């Protein structure tokens, strides 16, 4: 199926729900990017994806932030390598720094940031009182 046909079928809601998975989302984003300027492609893709989810009673599954992030950035994430994005990155270096196959969230930097956030919360709010819990 060509990019034009894929977009047409998606925008006219003639793609079957059971055959539209994550990889199809990625291919569709690439199809939009290959045919339209970036911001126009993002707008059309977002609108069509919202309609697609709403038509299936799953509007709550649409997330604008995730749509924009997947649309623009090609950083490996959770072991999935994004291709055909506006900004593609390639990570080189030891796995403990880059996160290896797990992506950036598997790196030592992610662990350090999470630990620092946990310490900040712990020390910033040491005696948080919750009204529904006894002290």
Report the C-alpha gap between 58 and 120 in whole angstroms. 37
Q: Is residue 107 part of a domain?
A: yes
Q: Is residue 57 part of a domain?
A: yes
Among candidate residues 52, 77, 73, the one with its CA nearest the CA of residue 62: 52
Q: Is residue 20 part of a domain?
A: yes
Say if residue 24 is in the same domain as residue 37.
yes
Q: Is residue 28 part of a domain?
A: yes
Say if residue 80 is in the same domain as residue 118.
no
Say if residue 23 is in the same domain as residue 86.
yes
What average pLDDT does range 108-114 have in this prediction?
Answer: 89
Say if residue 103 is in the same domain as residue 56.
no
Say if residue 51 is in the same domain as residue 17.
yes
Side-chain half-sphere exposure of 133, counting CA atoms within 13 A: 5
Say if residue 21 is in the same domain as residue 70.
yes
Say if residue 68 is in the same domain as residue 29.
yes
pLDDT, one tens digit per residue, over 34-47 is 888 888 888 998 99
Q: Is residue 29 part of a domain?
A: yes
Q: Is residue 132 part of a domain?
A: no
Among candidate residues 64, 38, 43, 51, the one with its CA nearest the CA of residue 11: 51
Confidence of residue 113 (pLDDT cuts 50, 70, 90): very high
Say if residue 9 is in the same domain as residue 74.
yes
List the domain range (segments joined by +) for residue 123.
92-127
Say if residue 67 is in the same domain as residue 42.
yes
Q: Is residue 135 part of a domain?
A: no
Say if residue 32 is in the same domain as residue 51.
yes
What average pLDDT does range 102-108 have in this prediction?
Answer: 77
How many domains in the chain? 2
Q: Between the CA of residue 67 and those of 75, 91, 109, 115, what are the distances in Å? A: 14, 22, 25, 28
What average pLDDT does range 127-134 have in this prediction?
Answer: 66
pLDDT, one tens digit per residue, over 29-88 is 888 888 888 888 889 989 998 888 888 888 888 888 878 777 766 555 555 555 555 555
């Amino acid at each position: 199926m060509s990019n034009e046909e894929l977009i047409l079928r998606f925008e006219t809601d003639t793609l079957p729900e059971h055959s539209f998975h994550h990889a199809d989302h990625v291919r569709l984003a690439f199809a939009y990017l290959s045919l339209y300027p970036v911001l126009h492609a993002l707008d059309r893709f977002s609108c069509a994806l919202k309609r697609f989810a709403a038509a299936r009673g799953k509007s709550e599954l649409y997330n604008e932030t995730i749509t924009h992030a997947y649309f623009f950035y090609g950083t490996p994430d959770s072991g999935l390598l994004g291709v055909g994005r506006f900004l593609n990155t390639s990570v080189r270096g030891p796995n403990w720094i880059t996160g290896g196959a797990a992506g950036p969230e598997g790196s030592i930097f992610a662990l350090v940031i999470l630990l620092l956030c946990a310490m900040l919360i712990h020390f910033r709010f040491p005696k948080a009182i919750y009204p529904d819990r006894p002290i």
